[in-house]
């Protein structure tokens, strides 16, 4: 006679499709910690520019995360209204690229070797590696598109800025606001990003006897 099956631990119960407690639907003005899909970035072709020509290349980002502070974005919105304070206008919005976690996990170097091997990946997944930030999947109920978003990883070296008015226009035409980090997950992500940017390179490590 087979032994009775044990109930799984509460923290391991299947919760796919259920509210995560990490994300919420984006409403109102755009804020820090928002996940945006389909953002198109225009880049000057440097080779053509060097030759005296002008050519623009387009890069479509599957997902990006807004990094600029919500308070700055709020001041910017108010400043763009009639009679607004022009010194509060935010010229650019900073964002981080976000890639499918499996793509990051399986990323290879020029020799074809997997970079993020079994020793590194658990640190990335658990947000213990200072360069990366891992996001669990977003359930459909917390995705404005209703589709759900797969696990993502942000590489803190992969960030860029976009003119604010250009970002607003693209959000109207092409890019989509999908989900938003809730507190304290928002602050966790934000603090880790800026800590990485503030790191200090030293000539060597401390010695120990």
Residues of the chain with pLDDT under 50: 5-6, 8-14
Q: Is there a domain that residue 1 lies in?
A: no
Name residues whose C-beta falls within 8 Å of residue 49's C-beta, 6 or more positions apart in sequence.
55
What does pTM read for this prediction? Answer: 0.84
Q: How far apart are CA 139 and CA 10, in angstroms?
A: 19
| Distance, first Cα to last Cα, the chain | 60
194: helix, strand or coil: helix
**116 in a structural domain:** no
Say what the pLDDT of residue 114 is.
55
Tell me: the pLDDT tens digits for 89-130? 999 999 999 999 988 887 765 565 555 566 788 889 999 999
- Tell me how many domains the chain contains: 1
Whether 115 is in a domain gets the answer: no
Q: Is residue 204 part of a domain?
A: no
> Domain containing 38 — which CATH number?
2.30.30.110
- Residue 115: the pLDDT is 58
Q: Determine the pLDDT at residue 171.
A: 97
pLDDT given for residue 8 in this prediction: 45
On the CB side of 47, CA atoms within 13 Å amount to 1
Distances (CA, A) of 91 to 47, 66, 173: 27, 15, 20
Residue 118 in any domain: the answer is no
Cα 32 from Cα 90, distance rounded (Å): 14
Q: What b/e sequence results for 16-30 when a residue is b if at least 16 CB atoms lie within 10 Å of its CB, and e otherwise?
A: eeeebebbbebeeeb
Provide the residue range defining the domain that includes 165.
25-102+131-196
Note whether residue 207 is domain-resident: no
- Please check whether residue 149 lies inside any domain of the structure: yes
- Residue 80: DSSP 8-state: T
Residue 82 falls inside a structural domain: yes
Q: What is the pLDDT of residue 107?
A: 74
């Amino acid at each position: 006679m087979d032994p009775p099956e044990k109930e799984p631990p509460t923290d391991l119960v299947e919760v796919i499709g259920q509210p995560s407690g990490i994300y919420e639907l984006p409403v109102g003005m755009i804020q820090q910690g928002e996940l945006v899909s389909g953002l198109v970035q225009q880049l000057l072709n440097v080779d053509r520019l060097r030759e005296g020509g002008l050519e623009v290349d387009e890069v479509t980002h599957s997902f990006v995360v807004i990094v600029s502070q919500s308070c700055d974005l709020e001041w910017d919105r108010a400043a763009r209204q009639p009679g607004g304070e022009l010194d509060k206008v935010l010229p650019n919005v900073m964002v981080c690229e976000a890639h499918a976690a499996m793509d990051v996990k399986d990323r290879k170097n020029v020799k074809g070797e997997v970079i993020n091997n079994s020793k590194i990946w658990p640190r990335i997944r658990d947000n213990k590696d200072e360069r990366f930030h891992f996001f669990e999947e977003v359930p459909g109920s917390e995705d404005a598109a209703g589709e759900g978003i797969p696990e993502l990883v942000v590489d803190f070296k992969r960030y860029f800025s976009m003119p604010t008015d250009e970002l607003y226009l693209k959000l109207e035409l092409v890019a989509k606001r999908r989900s938003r980090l809730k507190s304290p997950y928002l602050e966790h992500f934000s603090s880790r990003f800026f800590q990485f940017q503030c790191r200090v390179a030293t000539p060597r490590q401390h010695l120990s006897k």
